[in-house]
Structure 1
Amino acid sequence: MPKDVKNEFHWASSQLPTCSTLVVGDRTVNRSLLLLAAITAASETGRKVVFFTQNQIQSLPVTLQSCLPNLSPESLKKIKFSYPSTVEELLMQVACLHESTNTSPTTPSLIIVDRLEGYLRGPGGSQSAFHQGEQSCAAHVSALLHDTASFLTQVLERQNPGLAPCRVIASFQSQVEVGQAAREHSVPDPLHAVLDRYFPVRCTLDRNTSYGATAAGSQEVWHVYFSGTGITETTCAHNSKDKQPGIAQEWQLVIFPNGPMEFTVV
């Protein structure tokens, strides 16, 4: 079995800045990484996590079941899964997190939104009915997530400074990123410009399809890039003293045929 992926991911997560992160790329891998982030935060640091997703989670992906065989049920209790089906419901439930600090003994210190594009676009990829355009809808949702995290950070600093700040992680797959033609022409998605204002760190997943990677067998090899204005010199110091602020930090993720994952710094 590969090295302890939870400890590796815990170290990687600790190197990220205290601002929001947008994960872009393959949907299946995205969800596994978001769940891994939630489990790591709950089990390693004792954080309360709120996980928003449209699709109910019946069980952990095989990749996580293989990597976390001794996961404590108590750790999962620190993760609250919520299933808003529309952007209106998502906004309402995020807004309610302000009120939860008066009724719950523990304050969330990690907010995760799985497949944000599903909320910004209606069923089948149609435009959301909440606003006239997707860009204003994206700004509305992102601003509320940002403001909620700031509010919860202030509460955490009073209650338990060790769990502050409250972070936000969301996954997003652009419509123009789907399909070979889109990749060849590198069509920009206007929603990225909006989201980047509220998510200063971007985590990009890019599958390695080179001959060396495919020759390794049926395992999947992914490049994981951290970039954006939220990446600081301190964040990148682990790899090289020569790295400057804003330069991407790169990892390699290997998913083995029987499920386990392994992270390594590139």
Structure 2
Amino acid sequence: MTDILTLVFRTFMSQTDVTKDLQATAPSAPSPPTCSTLVLGDHSISRSVLLLAAVTAASEMGIKVMFFTQTQIQSLPVSLQKCVPNLSPESLKKIKFSYPRTVEELLQQVASLHESTNTSPSPPSLIIVDRLEAYLCGPGGVSHSGFHPGEQSCAAHLSALLCDSSAFLTQLLKQRSSSSAPCRLIVSFQSEVDTVNASGDAFTTDPILDVLDRYFQVRCTLDRDRSYEAAAAGLQEVWNIYLSGSGITRASSTKECEDRPGVAQEWQLLIFPDGLMEFKMV
């Protein structure tokens, strides 16, 4: 489910929240067979969350990460360098960056994850796609919403392939080492509808999101807090994080979670003037 994102939030948690988290946290329930999360929000902050997830997965969990993005990553952002100043080169080697330029190239590269030559000696346990909307939007034939005509079917095709690849790699990981499974999937998307309510749901229906929600079990919505309290706290930025979706609902209703705290569904991301990032439970 959201095990990697939750690990990110807790690893870089505000120190005032660490004790509270230790008191509230019980052994977690088993993760479902497939783990897919859609990160919804401004691409600049969602990319930082994706990179933080990749780095945490590689360094804390020791798993391989496949990171798809259109934009070349020459170095980690300053904010991430401040969060993980002692990141080892060996951990970074576990993250493979790939730069498909078009949705056709992305489809081809995701499909190639099935090939034995790419899954040997060990396949990735986390697939990340940065800025899905950038692949659905392109020059020529753009509709009034900014996407190609047929963008919904394209979004469905790509999402289905990503989920299928994740499920395939999960089975492969289980065959080789059950401790490495499942293969998680995290995709970021910046909706044309960027106004959300307190539960993280858009006020206006976005047809692309309607499609994506059918494939991704959890939605992680990033909503910037522009209130006076946030500005008065002396922070550069404050982002509210809402976790919702079928994956959260199932985890909260399982027998294992009836007598113990479930996954926190609301967090805050605090960004300080020096670039340092901290997460706080709400």
TM-score normalised over the length of structure 1? 0.84
Residue of structure 1 in register with 2:279 after alignment: 263
Residue 70 (str. 1) matches residue 74 (str. 2): no
Residue of structure 2 in register with 1:142 after alignment: 159
CA RMSD of aligned residues (A): 3.2
CA distance in 2, matches of 1:143, 1:249: 26
Residue in structure 2 matching 1:200, options 217, 221, 246: 217
Aligned 8 A contact 2:10 2:279 in 1: no
* Structure 2 residues not aligned, in runs of 5+: 1-7, 14-20, 196-201
Aligned 8 A contact 1:142 1:198 in 2: yes
Residue 224 (str. 1) matches residue 241 (str. 2): yes
Matches within 5 A, 1:1-266: 7-8=11-12, 18-100=34-116, 104-123=120-139, 126=142, 132-177=149-194, 186-232=203-249, 234=251, 249-266=265-282
User: What are the Cα deviations for residues 30-51 of structure 1, in whole angstroms up to 9, with x where unaligned?
Assistant: 0000000001111111111000
Aligned 8 A contact 1:236 1:243 in 2: no
Deviation at 1:121, TM superposition (A): 1.3
Change (3 A) 1:106 1:20: same
Deviation at 1:123, TM superposition (A): 4.0
Deviation at 1:210, TM superposition (A): 1.4
Partner of 1:177: helix, strand, or coil? coil
Counterpart residue type for residue 188 of structure 1? T
Change (3 A) 1:196 1:212: same
Aligned 8 A contact 1:22 1:201 in 2: yes
Aligned 8 A contact 2:107 2:158 in 1: yes
Change (3 A) 1:107 1:142: same
CA distance in 2, matches of 1:264, 1:220: 13
Percent identity between the two aligned chains? 66
* Structure 1 residues not aligned, in runs of 5+: 179-184
Deviation at 1:5, TM superposition (A): 6.7
Partner of 1:252: helix, strand, or coil? strand
Partner of 1:97: helix, strand, or coil? helix
Aligned 8 A contact 1:110 1:168 in 2: yes
Aligned residues: 252
User: What are the Cα deviations for residues 130-189 of structure 1, in whole angstroms up to 9, with x where unaligned?
Assistant: 9850000000000000100000000000101111000110000012328xxxxxx93321
Aligned 8 A contact 2:141 2:149 in 1: no
Aligned 8 A contact 1:115 1:170 in 2: yes
Aligned 8 A contact 2:37 2:216 in 1: yes
Aligned 8 A contact 1:225 1:248 in 2: no
Residue of structure 2 in register with 1:182 after alignment: none
Partner of 2:247: helix, strand, or coil? coil
Deviation at 1:211, TM superposition (A): 1.4
TM-score normalised over the length of structure 2? 0.80
